[in-house]
Structure 1
C-alpha cells in the first residue's frame, strides 16, 4: 500500500471496502431486503403500533440490521487477505478503517430502516429532527460495538454464532439506552435526565473505540 501516513492508509482501506461494496452489491441488497421484509411483516401482524411499541420495534430492527450489515465486513475477509494486510499496515490502521467503513454503512442502513418504518408502520414521531439525530447516533454506537465483536469472531474461524453470544450482554445496555433517549421524540415534555444519558452513550462509544484499538493488535497477531 502506497505511503506510510497512517491517515492516508486508513482512508485507502476505507475506499477499498466501499469499492468492493459497490462491485458486490448483493450483500447490500440482501440487507435492504431484510429491512423491507421485516418491517412489512410487522405491519401485517400489528398494523400501526402505538408510540412506545413503534420505538421498541424500530430499535430491535436496528439491532438485527447491525448484525447483518457489520458482521460481513470481517466475514468476507479470507485468512490469506488478512495476512496480506498484516504485512502492509499497522493493525490499528486496519481496524480504524473497518470502524469508519461500518459507521458509514450503518448510517445509511439506519436511514433506510427509518424510511421503511415510517412508510409501513406510520409516523408517530413528534420531533423528527431529534429522532433522526438519535437514529444516526444509534447507528454509530451499534456499528462500533459490532465491529469489535466481528473482529473477535473473525479470529475464531469466522464464527458468527460467537459474535451473537458475546454481543447479547454487551448490546443490551446500549439498546436500552438508545430506546430510552429516543422516547423524547414522541413527547413534548422535556426530560431532565437526557444530558446524562447522552454523556453515558458517548462514554460507551469512546470506551468501545479504545478497547478495539487496544485489543485488536493482540488478536491480529494470532
Structure 2
C-alpha cells in the first residue's frame, strides 16, 4: 500500500484530500507543519509527499529543501499551493519538488499527478541506466552526483546538475528551451520566463568555459566541442 505524507495546515483541505485518496486505497498521514512531517519521515516508509507552501513555522520551500538534504532524493514531492505564478512554480521546482499543482484543483487531477509520479519512481528504481557520462574533459557520475572538469571538481546546485545531465545524455543534439523545461524543471509548457537561459549561464560559469554549451539562435542549446 502506498503511504502518502500530506503536509497541509488547512484542515478542510487536508480532509478533502485524505478522504479522496483513501477511497483509492492510499494510506494518508496528515502533518500540519514541517516538524511533525520530519519526525514521521524518520520512522515511516513514505511513497510520496504532498506539500503546501504556506505553512506555519517552516514554509514548504524550506521543508522541500530539507527533505532533499536529509537524503530523500528519490522520494516524489508534489507541491500544492495557491501560489500558482510562473515564478512560484520555478521556486518550488528549484527547491527540489517533482511537480506542482495550483489550488484550487480537482481531486481527479491530483490523483492523476500522484499516479504519474509513482510510476516514474517505479520505473527509475527498476531501470538500469548508464551511470557515468563523459564529454570532452567533463565527467559526470550519476551515482555519486559528482562532476569534474579536467580533473577539478565542479560544485553544482541540484538544478544545475540536472541541466548538465540532460546535456551529457544528449551530446551534439540541439535541445530546445521547451525540452529543457520539461526534463529539468518538469514543466511541459512555456512559462514565459528566461529561467533556462539564466541557468545555462550559471552552468557555463561553473564549468569556466562558454565554448562547450553553445547557443543555437532561435532553437536552443547544444553541448559540443568548438
TM-score where L is the length of structure 1: 0.26
Larger relative contact order (Cα-Cα within 8 Å, sequence gap ≥ 6):
1
Higher helix share: 1
Higher strand share: 2
